Amino acid sequence: MKYSTIPSLFHLSIFVVLIISASASGEDDQQEYSNSDPTYSTMPEEPRSPLDHYHLSFNYYRQTCPMLDEIIHKKVRESVAKDRTLAASLLRLHFHDCIVTGCDASILLDHEGSERKAGPSKTLRGFQLIDDIKAELEKLCPKTVSCADILTAATRDATVLLGGPYWMVPYGRKDSRTSIAKVTDSVPMGHESVTSMLELFQSLGLNVIDLVVLSGAHTIGRTSCGSIQHRLNHLNGTYDPVIDDKFLDFLQRKCKCESENEYVDLDATTPNTFDGQYYANLEKKMGLLYTDQMLYSDSRTRPIVNTFVQNPSIFKHQFSVSMVKLGNTQVLTGPNQGEIRTNCNFANSY
């Protein structure tokens, strides 16, 4: 598959702004959101929107579980206050769920042969928080709120708590009844080419801007030393040339052995803050994962990276747009599709 060259930086900047302006997540519709407890109010009936295509709605639980957002926010705030690394873990958990079979909470099913038991999922975290939220909601709104909706909203709230943008989450997803480990073979592991990443994203209805923007989630979080060894010591004895010498020296000292228990920050500069520093790091050859650094080396993605380096605020706005798109990927909403699990770890037995 061939991809056309991205336009000049000037035209790209205008293009990105136009996409933001036209997005269904609508900045005009966003409510003020802070790290303190927000005041939740009943929203008016919304007009028909592009969300109708997915059969999702911002008012889906307005009558059946009106305290949903408040409960999710409270639980996420309490958990992230105890462990700030949990925010990045939720982002990763949500991505792993959506990127293979769509946002259907299949990653949460806990049985032999499930996605959760597969190799690419072995370092995922955040399951207990989703279970805690679900248990609270089952007390107030039994058999009503899907695990897929909980994970999607909890990811948004965790992102905001670390300084990321707020976006409105439409609801109405159902939970998958099945989960198969084999599908995780398509989960990116950090060594893919830009072309293969583009093909994966396009197969999900996402585009090149979404690829660069969602990769920016690596402004927070960590990865194991074992996952970057191929960049530090190649089989022929040479290291990855697309890496800053001082950064390479730091990583080689930090990751002396191929350990899965030793971790490195994905953003070496501001690892605990959701900002645009990730893109500035790529410019300095300090992208930790190969897939990250290649975004600056590839002519199709480099102009977008440059735009976010010069205008970090554009990245934050576009991140909310792309997260809405990711969260709407291949959702189950039909009358004969999926279910509302009563326990996120297991499919219903009835």
Q: Where are the domains of the chain?
A: 30-185, 188-324
Query: Does the pLDDT of residue 2 top 90, yes or no?
Result: no
**What's the Rg (C-alpha) of the chain?**
20
Flag whether 188 is marked binding: yes
Query: Does the pLDDT of residue 338 top 70, yes or no?
Result: yes
Read off the pLDDT of residues 277-320 as tens digits, 9 standing for 90 and up: 999 999 999 999 999 999 999 999 999 999 999 999 999 999 99
Read off the pLDDT of residues 46-98 as tens digits, 9 standing for 90 and up: 444 455 556 899 999 999 999 999 999 999 999 999 999 999 999 999 999 99
| Token pair for 236 | 């022929």
Domain boundaries 188-324, corresponding CATH code: 1.10.420.10
Give the whole-number percent of the chain exceeding pLDDT 70.
Answer: 81
Question: What is the residue type of 50?
Answer: P
Question: What is the residue type of 98?
Answer: C
The per-residue pLDDT for 229 is 85
pLDDT higher at 57 or 7: 57
- The separation between the first and the last C-alpha atoms of the chain, rounded to the nearest angstrom, is 45
The per-residue pLDDT for 239 is 55
Flag whether 97 is marked binding: yes
Report helix, strand and coil shares of the chain as percent, to nearest 5. Answer: 50, 5, 45
State the Cα–Cα distance between residues 74 and 307, nearest whole angstrom.
35
pTM reported for the whole predicted model: 0.84
The per-residue pLDDT for 283 is 96
The per-residue pLDDT for 335 is 86
Question: What is the residue type of 229?
Answer: Q
Between 106-115, 165-174, 259-268, the lowest mean confidence (pLDDT) is in: 259-268
Flag whether 275 is marked binding: yes
Given this chain, do its domains 30-185 and 188-324 carry the same CATH topology?
no
Between 6-15, 57-66, 99-108, 146-155, the lowest mean confidence (pLDDT) is in: 6-15
Give the whole-number percent of the chain exceeding pLDDT 90.
Answer: 74
Flag whether 192 is marked binding: no
Is 53 known to be catalytic? Answer: no
Residues in the chain: 350
Please give the C-alpha separations between residue 334 and each of 151, 266, 294, 324, in angstroms, as whole numbers: 20, 38, 39, 20
The widest CA-to-CA distance across the chain, in whole angstroms, is 63
Name the architecture of domain 30-185. Answer: Orthogonal Bundle (1.10)
Instruction: Say which of 73, 94, 96, 317 is annotated catalytic.
Output: 96
Flag whether 270 is marked binding: yes
